[in-house]
């Protein structure tokens, strides 16, 4: 007989405003919490779900972090994103009921399990939940578009900087430091996400260190001059007058 995990409560959850409950009334949040199940934590490199399997649940990151990826017919892998606390995984499966990507834990991590059938029922009852689902789906589309711009038109340096800036923002939103954080992913994962080689990632980090923009100690990143970093990647922020847009 396994240990039974406690029923989760979104109302107490520190990150509920960054997650599915955002915009819901307190009694609606409680209804949502009733359908959510806790899962035992996943260990590093453990698979949460894999491509082509039936999607019975969506998952929200509760703690830790995950990596989503797809592979082509030759087995070439592309990391399509990293998931931090509050973020929903599995949205790509709403089309056919099967996951179209795979997700692994980057560190010891836990998730909230959202049974899809019951979530759908609840969306019919609670319009605000429905809207929030659509907002979340829409957000994923927008950030995927940004990633396409990055993969299609940016240099290695720009990609590296945008990656650091993205993490900085997301950690900030979670209440952590925007200038000091530990990467939960390997260089190889960053490289794969950014469409570069891991050697190029190393070189870019080294260059940025030498330029005094960041300090790197293995997985630990400290952004020394966040404004400088922003000004390299988004020149308009540094010279607003020259950029009417």
Can you give the binding site for a copy of itself, defined by CB under 8 A? 70-78, 80, 91-95, 100-101, 120, 123-124, 127, 130-131, 133-135, 137-142, 144-149, 151-153, 192-195, 234-237, 243, 245
Cβ atoms within 10 A of the Cβ of 58, count?
21
Nearest distance from residue 160's CB to a copy of itself, in Å?
Answer: 15
Is 78 one of the binding residues for DNA (CB under 7 A)? Answer: no
Between CA 101 and CA 111, with CA 107 as vertex, the angle to 5 degrees is: 65
Tell which positions 5-24 bind DNA, by CB under 7 A: none
CB of 40 to a copy of itself, least distance (A): 28
- Dihedral angle over CA of 24, 33, 103, 54, nearest 10: -110
List all residues 6 or more positions away from 228 whose beta carbon is below 8 Å from its beta carbon.
213
When CB distances are held under 5 to 8 angstroms depending on the partner's kind, the choice from a copy of itself, DNA, none that residue 127 binds is a copy of itself
Taking the complex as a whole, the smallest distance from the CB of residue 198 to DNA amounts, in Å, to 5
Task: Quickly list DSSP for 187-227.
Answer: HHHHHHHHTS-HHHHHHHHHHHHHTTSEEEETTEEEES-HH
Site string for DNA, 157-196 (x = CB under 7 A): x----------------------------xxx------xx
- Between 88 and 205, name the residue whose CB sits nearer to DNA: 205
CA nearest neighbour of 205 among 192, 194, 214, 195? 214
From the list a copy of itself, DNA, none, partner contacted by residue 70 (C-beta under 5 to 8 A by kind)? a copy of itself
Non-local (6+) Cβ contacts of 38 within 8 A are 5, 6, 7, 8, 110, 112, 113
Q: Shortest Cβ distance from residue 103 to a copy of itself (Å)?
A: 12
Query: Which chain residues interact with DNA by CB under 7 A?
Result: 155-157, 186-188, 195-203, 205-206, 216, 218-219
């Amino acid at each position: 007989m396994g240990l039974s995990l406690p029923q989760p409560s979104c109302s107490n959850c520190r990150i509920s405003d960054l997650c599915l409950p955002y915009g819901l009334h307190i009694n609606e949040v409680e209804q949502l919490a009733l359908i959510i199940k806790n899962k035992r934590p996943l260990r590093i490199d453990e698979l949460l779900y894999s491509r082509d399997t039936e999607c019975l649940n969506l998952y929200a990151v509760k703690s830790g972090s995950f990596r989503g990826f797809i592979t082509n017919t030759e087995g070439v892998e592309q990391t399509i994103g990293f998931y931090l606390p509050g973020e929903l995984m599995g949205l790509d499966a709403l089309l056919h009921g099967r996951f179209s990507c795979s997700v692994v834990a980057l560190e010891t991590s836990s998730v909230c399990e959202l049974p899809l059938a019951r979530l759908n029922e609840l969306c019919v009852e609670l319009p605000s939940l429905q809207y929030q689902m659509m907002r979340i789906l829409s957000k994923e589309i927008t950030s995927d578009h940004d990633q396409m711009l990055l993969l299609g038109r940016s240099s290695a340096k720009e990609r590296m900087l945008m990656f650091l800036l993205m993490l900085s923002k997301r950690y900030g939103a979670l209440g952590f430091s925007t200038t000091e954080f530990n990467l939960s992913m390997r260089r190889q994962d960053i490289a794969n996400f950014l469409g570069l080689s891991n050697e190029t990632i190393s070189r870019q980090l080294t260059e940025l260190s030498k330029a005094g923009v960041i300090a790197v100690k293995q997985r630990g990143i400290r952004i020394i001059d966040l404004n400088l970093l922003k000004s390299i990647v988004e020149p308009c922020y540094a010279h607003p007058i020259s950029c009417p847009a």
